[in-house]
Structure 1
Amino acid sequence: MFRPFTCILGLFLAADAALAGPWPRAPGTHFLSLALESPSDPQLAEQSYTSLYYEYGARNDWTLGLDIGADTLGYGKAIAFARRSIWRGDRARVAVEFGLGSQAAFQGTDVALRPGISWGRNVTLLGRHGWMSADATLTYLPRLRRAIGKLETTLGVTLGADSKILIQFTAEQETGKPATFTMTPTHAQAIGKSSFLTTSVILSPDRPARFKFGIWLQF
């Protein structure tokens, strides 16, 4: 039986992370992710959407970025953010961020204020380099007086220079609505010196499975 909330807590307590996380981008470097997500049921194809995620490494451990697409609740968003590391240990980091943009919710679309905090550390699994991270955000919509809380944990392993696998557990809830849980296993295969092709399956206990195909570019 799929128990996503238990898995999330397990990973939370328990890097070259691809998406988000507390690791800053090197100054002057870029990361871009483009993805297409579609339901497994062809009759729901109109619910497909594309997403864009971008990070730029600024100076002094600052990372600037854009998060455009839809969340696990199916609501569109377009948010610019700034993230900075605030603590660094031998293998772990903590970062805080603030985002500003637009977010849709059940009652409509509003200006979005999105503070967040990230924790992550490098790990070794079966003799291979890996990482685990937890990212928590709270998106506040002042005009609608709504909030959307999100916790996403990631466990990833680098299989070799050309291959990575990772699994993400996500819990998300809008004010007055039931929480949504998803589990997303992903395989990333190198298709160039600094690019990866990604294939994912998004699983949820209360909605049909979705497929996600994307590309990561680092430059």
Structure 2
Amino acid sequence: MTLRFILAGILWLAGLHGAEAGAWPRGKGNHFAFAALRGIGSEDGSLTPSFSYYHEYGLTDRLTLSADLGGAISGFEKTIIALSMPVPLPEFLGLKASMDLGYGEIDGQQVMRPGLSIGRGFAQPEGWASVDMVAEIFPDLLLVDWKVDMTLGMTARSGHKYYLQVQSGQQMGDPFFSRVEASVAWRLRDGLYLDVGAAAGLVSTDPYRVKLGVWREF
């Protein structure tokens, strides 16, 4: 409860009113918000709902504050606040990178979440590729979960975005899992998108998932 109160206060101070850090900084004063409802499928065909909310705010041109609420690698609910900053790379590589450090709770347990994101943008066709890696470290339990998401996306002339993501990871004590998700983000207006996707399980995970989300940049 205390952590959620602190989170609400930080977001209010950041300029939110009721309202990923990736490889690219958000930029001073800029927001990115994403809310999604997922249905997690089971072998018997039933769907279990899962809600998530993610928000970034550019504290400076280099420093990004993020809040991550919802499901975790373990499947339990989480509340995590993180700070992200760029990692310098040689310009000739054409890559962007950032590292972040988060702290919060998952299923009532304290957790630290370091992460590293590496990405590259493309001009023709307009798009991007990125790899996002995080570890969820539970100091009281001496457990570590990890996850890696690899994303390839394209922006059409209409402004719609199409992206494919391979999600993989492991909860400590469980087998490695992997799934692939295809998504379309329809541009409703400047900075506002409707995100629809579906995922298929590849290794040691639920057989399918569906997603309906909204994301906004402002």
Q: TM-score range by the shorter chain?
A: 0.7 to 0.9
Q: Percent identity?
A: 28
Query: Take 1:193 and 1:130, find their aligned partners in 2: how far apart are those partners?
Result: 17
Query: Take 2:153 and 2:199, find their aligned partners in 1: how far apart are those partners?
Result: 16
Partner of 1:67: 68
Partner of 1:48: 49
Please report how far the alpha carbon of residue 116 of structure 1 lies from its aligned counterpart in structure 2 after TM superposition.
0.9
Is the Cα contact below 8 Å between 1:72 and 1:180 reproduced in 2?
no
Partner of 2:101: 98
Q: Counterparts of 1:184-203 in structure 2 under 5 Å?
A: 184-203=181-200
Query: Take 2:22 and 2:176, find their aligned partners in 1: how far apart are those partners?
Result: 22
Query: Take 1:40 and 1:142, find their aligned partners in 2: how far apart are those partners?
Result: 32
Please report how far the alpha carbon of residue 73 of structure 1 lies from its aligned counterpart in structure 2 after TM superposition.
4.2
**Are residues 72 and 160 of structure 1, via their aligned partners in 2, closer, same or farther at CA, if it must alter by over 3 Å?**
farther
Partner of 1:116: 115
| CA-to-aligned-CA distance 1:63-91 (integer Å, 9 cap, x gap) | 10011111354222111000000215363
Query: Take 2:199 and 2:71, find their aligned partners in 1: how far apart are those partners?
Result: 14
Please report how far the alpha carbon of residue 161 of structure 1 lies from its aligned counterpart in structure 2 after TM superposition.
3.9
Query: Take 2:52 and 2:168, find their aligned partners in 1: how far apart are those partners?
Result: 19
**Are residues 215 and 20 of structure 1, via their aligned partners in 2, closer, same or farther at CA, if it must alter by over 3 Å?**
same
What are the ranges of 5 or more consecutive residues in structure 2 without an aligned counterpart? Answer: 1-19
Is the Cα contact below 8 Å between 2:37 and 2:49 reproduced in 1?
yes
- Please provide the CA RMSD for this pair: 1.7
Q: Which 4+ stretches in 1 moved above 4 angstroms?
A: 40-43
Q: Which has the higher contact order (CA 8 A, sep 6+)?
A: 1
Query: Take 1:39 and 1:102, find their aligned partners in 2: how far apart are those partners?
Result: 22
The amino acid that maps onto 1:172 is G
Q: Give the alignment's TM-score, normalised by structure 1.
A: 0.83
| CA-to-aligned-CA distance 1:155-177 (integer Å, 9 cap, x gap) | 10011242110011111101121
Please report how far the alpha carbon of residue 203 of structure 1 lies from its aligned counterpart in structure 2 after TM superposition.
1.1
Q: Give the strand-richer structure, 1 or 2.
A: 1
- Aligned partner of residue 172 in structure 1, secondary structure: strand
What are the ranges of 5 or more consecutive residues in structure 1 without an aligned counterpart? Answer: 1-18
Please report how far the alpha carbon of residue 20 of structure 1 lies from its aligned counterpart in structure 2 after TM superposition.
3.6
Q: Give the alignment's TM-score, normalised by structure 2.
A: 0.83
Query: Take 2:216 and 2:57, find their aligned partners in 1: how far apart are those partners?
Result: 12
Is the Cα contact below 8 Å between 1:69 and 1:77 reproduced in 2?
yes
Is the Cα contact below 8 Å between 2:184 and 2:195 reproduced in 1?
yes
